[in-house]
Amino acid sequence: MLAGFAAGCLEEKFMSCARCVMSVIALSVFSAGAARAGMIDLTQAGTSVNIGGALWETTDYRTAGTGNIRPFLRVQANNTEQGYNTSARPTAFDEKGTLNYTHDVQIQDLGGRVVNGVPYYEILLDINENNNNQDRYLSLDQLKIFISPMGGQNTANIASLGTLVYDIDAATDNWLAMDFNLNAGSGQGDVRFLLPVSVLSGFSPTSYFILFSRFGDNMSSDDGVEEWSLTDQIVVPTPGTAVVLLAAGVVARRRRRG
């Protein structure tokens, strides 16, 4: 597990030699389960980590091409990149693509799944980096979820996007280490983010779901777009308000499509 990261350090993928040493130490003590401070290793297949109640998993969803998933945010820039989903133009940061790929999303648009009896909203991340030892790694340094009654935002003031309901840095300064080579190729997914349905239970289904992400502070961005997408996974109805609300959201979305 450490060999790939050590090679990346030697090839200056990390910001400094000191940071390299700290990262290797972090890897050596990291284990699946509750997240530890600092770097979180998502470079190994089959990894599942709990960060603030949400699950982060490495996954290879090979039907990640357009038409099989529903992209809602693309960001792209060299070194560092950031942005949030909105239908406003121009955008505030490094958001890319037409409205097919970067646009507003409402809570009722979200798909989901049940894991160990708990219903989650499911968000997919497909990273695109150069497939070599030097550039294959990418860090996700910030991830914040906001809920707002207003869509079409284009502010550079992230704190004003809405009510903050999830932040990977809420408890401590976390960042996720990812490996493009794990599931190399555009259209093959890399990471699954599962947000508990209960986190959004107090909001209207028509409220706007805004995802802000920042990449590259610890492991730089070097190539194509990073893409966040939704799925059409349907939660199997079981007793409980949260599951009923999620199933209702899926039904409402399908009716709008028809």
How do beta strands 38-42 and 48-51 pair? unpaired
pTM for this model (two decimals): 0.78
Residue environment code for 134-153, b if the CB has 16+ CB neighbours within 10 A, otherwise e: ebbbbbbbbbbbbbbeebeb
Q: How far from 228 is each of 20, 22, 127, 190, CA to CA, in Å? A: 28, 29, 9, 10
Q: Give the start-to-end residue ranges of the domains of the chain.
A: 34-257
- pLDDT given at position 241: 42
List pLDDT tens digits, range 223-245: 889 999 998 765 544 434 444 44
List pLDDT tens digits, range 24-70: 333 433 333 444 458 999 999 899 999 999 999 997 665 544 456 79
Residue 175 carries which side chain, given as an amino acid letter?
W
Which of 42-46, 217-221, 254-258 has the weakest average pLDDT?
254-258
Average pLDDT, the chain: 79
Of the candidates 95, 71, 132, 61, the residue with the CA atom closest to the CA atom of residue 215: 95
Q: What is the mean pLDDT of residues 165-182?
A: 93
- pLDDT given at position 134: 73
List pLDDT tens digits, range 126-172: 999 887 777 899 999 999 999 999 999 999 999 999 999 999 999 99
- pLDDT given at position 129: 86
